[in-house]
Amino acid sequence: SGIDMLDFKAYYPPNYDTETSKASIFVGTSDKHTLNTHGGYLAFKVNQSGFSGSGSTNLIEAMRIEKDGKVGIGTASPTHTLNAVGASGTSVVQSIRNPNTSWGQYSLTRYGTETADFRYMDFGYYRGATEGTRGLVIKSQADATLVTFLDSGKVGIGTASPLVNLHVNGTN
């Protein structure tokens, strides 16, 4: 498969490190296809080990965009629109946050179908109005709180403010 790359090297006064790539953008043809149907990809690679004096040999692929638009972070073989793969163990794979530190703030991820914001549910973290009201929430398209999991361990179904370990609010 054909590959071209754009290397990024570092300048540390008074010397220029001409041997070590600190990051690279690779453009190539995917070797997943036959000779006549090669698809392109774009890979972003970084040097995680510092100086090596061996050019691009310490570059590790951090992200890839395949010809079909699939994006892989932490994987060179994305199988879905977005694949994010982290190290095993307790590493955080995804972090979505609202940088506002005021009380009463949400950090929500919207999951939907059809056109944008037509049919959806929100899933995320609520900082609460007080320490006792913060937790994980699932909200409906009508902005109703469907389920709440408070940091204290209390769970509410149909209520944003569960009063006991399992608080169900509804008529059925």
Question: Each residue of 108-155: pLDDT tens digit?
Answer: 888 887 666 667 888 888 888 887 888 999 988 888 889 999 999 999
Q: Could you report the per-residue pLDDT of 78-119, keeping only the tens digit for each?
A: 999 998 888 766 667 777 777 887 877 888 888 887 666 667
Sheet containing strand 15-29, edge to edge, reads 3-12, 15-29, 40-47, 59-66, 71-73, 82-84
Q: Which long-range contacts (CB under 8 A, 24 or more apart) does 49-55 make?
A: 50/20, 51/17, 51/19, 51/20, 52/19, 52/20, 53/19, 53/20, 54/19, 54/20, 55/19, 55/20, 55/21
22 vs 52, residue with greater confidence = 22
Residue 100 burial (CB count, 10 A): 11
Q: Which pLDDT belongs to residue 151?
A: 92
Band (1; pLDDT cuts 50, 70, 90): very low
pLDDT at residue 34 greater than cutoff 80: no
Q: What does pTM read for this prediction?
A: 0.60
Band (70; pLDDT cuts 50, 70, 90): very high
Q: Which pLDDT belongs to residue 166?
A: 96
Q: Which pLDDT belongs to residue 142?
A: 83
7 vs 141, residue with greater confidence = 141
